[in-house]
Structure formats: structure tokens, C-alpha cells
Structure 1
Amino acid sequence: MQRSRTFTWSDPMEGATQARNMPGQAYLDAMSAGTIDFPPLLHTLDFKVEGVREGQAVFSFQPQEFHYNPIGTVHGGVITAMLDSAMGCALHSTLEAGAGYTTLEIKVNFLKAITIKTGILKATGRIIHAGKRTALTEATLADETGTVYAHGTSTCMILR
């Protein structure tokens, strides 16, 4: 049986341009409030922003068939994207206007298989350490009972 999925998105460069002139938390708050559109990746992978506060970000998703790899589980790239989103936004929430960041390294441990039967998963990202030029972040991907399915760490370069 064939399945299909349709979604729309806005020009991602409009929000990216605004991000350069706003403190990180204000930019993320504007997305949550709907005054700046979320980036297309969130629509593509059907991720939701649960909340962002200074130094912490929480994303969620309901595993779906379109997340699957060839062996019938959620693709590791989807899991990595979820963790990366939470870690990146946790860091971005602390940046001043005009600053940005880029990921230098990401490491993910996949602890349990994820399928459509797993239920809603939340990635919680936080900052372990932020210096002048680099930051170390981490995120866990867990279900509603607290069972951890994946854990990631990321080293980011802060661009000022």
C-alpha cells in the first residue's frame, strides 16, 4: 500500500537573516510565538519544539513510518537530527545578538531500537560547558517513562 505525505514551509533564509540581529533566546522565542517561521527541517521530520529556556531545549517527535530505515526502525540520522536540534538550540539560547555557532563534532550512542510502537520521544539538550570559542553540549532522547533511547554530545564553535 502506497502512502503519501505533504507539507509546506517558508523561505528559511528569512528567519536566518533575522537570527543574526537578535539574541539567541529572543530568536527562539519568536519562533515559538509564530512571528518567525520554524526551519524546514522541523516540518520535514515532523519535530515539535516543546520549550526553550536559557541553556536548555526540548524537542519531541512521534516516530512514523517515514522515519524508517530499510530494516524497519527509525533511521539513526533522524535520531541524530533530533539530538542535534536540542543541543544546538540549548546553546543558541545563550548567545548574544550577532553571535552564532556551528557543530564541530557530534557523537551519538543509540541505546534502544525505535519504532512506531515506541510512542512520543523527547530530546532534552543542555550545555555542559560554554567558553569563549567552544561549547560542549549533550542531549538525551527518552520516552514518557524516562527510558533513554539515545544520548549525544556535541562540540560547537561559537562564532562572534
Structure 2
Amino acid sequence: MPRPFIAQTPEELPSQAENLAISGLDFMQDMLAGRKSLPPVAGTMNYTIHAVEHGRVAFRGAPEFRHTNPLGGVHGGWYGSLLDTALGCAVMTVVPQGSWYTTLEYKVNITRALPIGTMIEVVGEVLHAGRSTAVATAELRCLDQARLFATGSTTCIILPG
């Protein structure tokens, strides 16, 4: 399977028409297979897609020094970005062809400090998917799953294309 790639130019991102032509699950599976680009933020935040199934996605990455706050700790925005990605992409897997979604709200809870360089996995799972809304949760853990570093939740609206 080809490695996922990260768009370097706007032309490498799929058009809205391309996005609406397939289901959200197919879109996410194409991203995992390297047929569609990860968004540029994936390179900025140092993460990549790891797994996709209906209602569930996983991303892996590690914070770097460039992701720290003025005190040297991993910036809360890094946690938030990865959790928001997993939450939204989990919702994307349940969006039907011809529709799209947007986030209505999301919440992040940081439970402990994440040391720079720690490889993590963030998994998003859909709890509810209706015709017009979806709810998802996510956990950000070290790869051995022993330590929980942050959790998140979201409510998204599903809209016709």
C-alpha cells in the first residue's frame, strides 16, 4: 500500500466536486492508501493517518520542539489539532456520498503533559451519526496505550452538497 502523502500545493488537494463524488469512508480510505493527500496541517503538526474503518480513524505522530509553548511544554494547540483531526475524520467516515460535514463544537481535555518526541496514537470514534448531526469522541495515548494524555469530543453537522 502506498504511503499517505501531504499536499504541498493547492492543486494536490481534491476539489469540492471530487469530495462530494464519493462517500466520506471512501474519501478517508483513499487518503490512507495515498490516492488522496493528507492536508498540509499534517506536516506542520507531524502526524499521519494510520487506520480507517466505518466510524473510526487513527492517526500517529509525535510532538517536536517546534510544537512547544514558551515554557517548553507541548502546546495545547498540538493536542487540539490532533484530536480535532481524529474527531472530524471519524465523522467523515459516516458522511454519505454527496454530503459534507462541519464542526459545530469540539472540546479538549488534557490529562497529563506529553514529553517531546513521544510517539502517540489518537483514535476517533463516532458515537452517533444521524441524518443531520454526528457526535464523536477521541483519545490521545502513547503507542503502548498505557498512558492517556488527552481526550476530546465533538458535535458536527452533516450538510447536503
Same fold (TM over 0.5): yes
Match of 1:159 in 2: 159
Task: Quickly say closer, same or farther: Cα 1:32–1:144, change in 2 above 3 A.
Answer: closer
**Overall identity of the aligned pairs, in %:** 33
**Deviation of residue 12 (structure 1)?**
6.2
Match of 2:120 in 1: 121
**Deviation of residue 16 (structure 1)?**
4.1
Alpha-carbon displacement from aligned partner over 1:75-105 (angstroms, at most 9, x marks no partner): 1111111011111111101111111111111
Alpha-carbon displacement from aligned partner over 1:37-69 (angstroms, at most 9, x marks no partner): 211111111111011111000011112101111
Distance 1:124 1:12 in 2: 29
Match of 1:141 in 2: 140
Indicate if the aligned counterparts of 1:129 and 1:137 stay in contact, CA closer than 8 A.
yes
The number of equivalent residue pairs is 153
**Deviation of residue 121 (structure 1)?**
0.8
| Structure 2 residue 55 is matched with structure 1 residue 55 | yes
Distance 2:32 2:101 in 1: 20
Match of 1:105 in 2: 105
Indicate if the aligned counterparts of 2:63 and 2:78 stay in contact, CA closer than 8 A.
no
Q: Give ranges in structure 1 of 5+ residues lacking alignment.
A: 1-6
**Deviation of residue 134 (structure 1)?**
1.1
Alpha-carbon displacement from aligned partner over 1:127-159 (angstroms, at most 9, x marks no partner): 111122111110000012321100001011111
Indicate if the aligned counterparts of 1:10 and 1:37 stay in contact, CA closer than 8 A.
no
Indicate if the aligned counterparts of 1:64 and 1:115 stay in contact, CA closer than 8 A.
no
SS state at 1:66 partner: helix
Match of 1:3 in 2: none
TM-score, reference length from structure 2: 0.88
Match of 2:131 in 1: 132
SS state at 1:15 partner: coil
Match of 1:95 in 2: 95
TM-score, reference length from structure 1: 0.89
Return the letter of the residue paired with 1:111: T
Indicate if the aligned counterparts of 1:24 and 1:92 stay in contact, CA closer than 8 A.
yes
Match of 1:4 in 2: none
SS state at 1:70 partner: coil
**Cα root mean square deviation, aligned:** 1.7
**Deviation of residue 9 (structure 1)?**
1.1
SS state at 2:89 partner: helix
Alpha-carbon displacement from aligned partner over 1:6-35 (angstroms, at most 9, x marks no partner): x97131674142212111111111122222
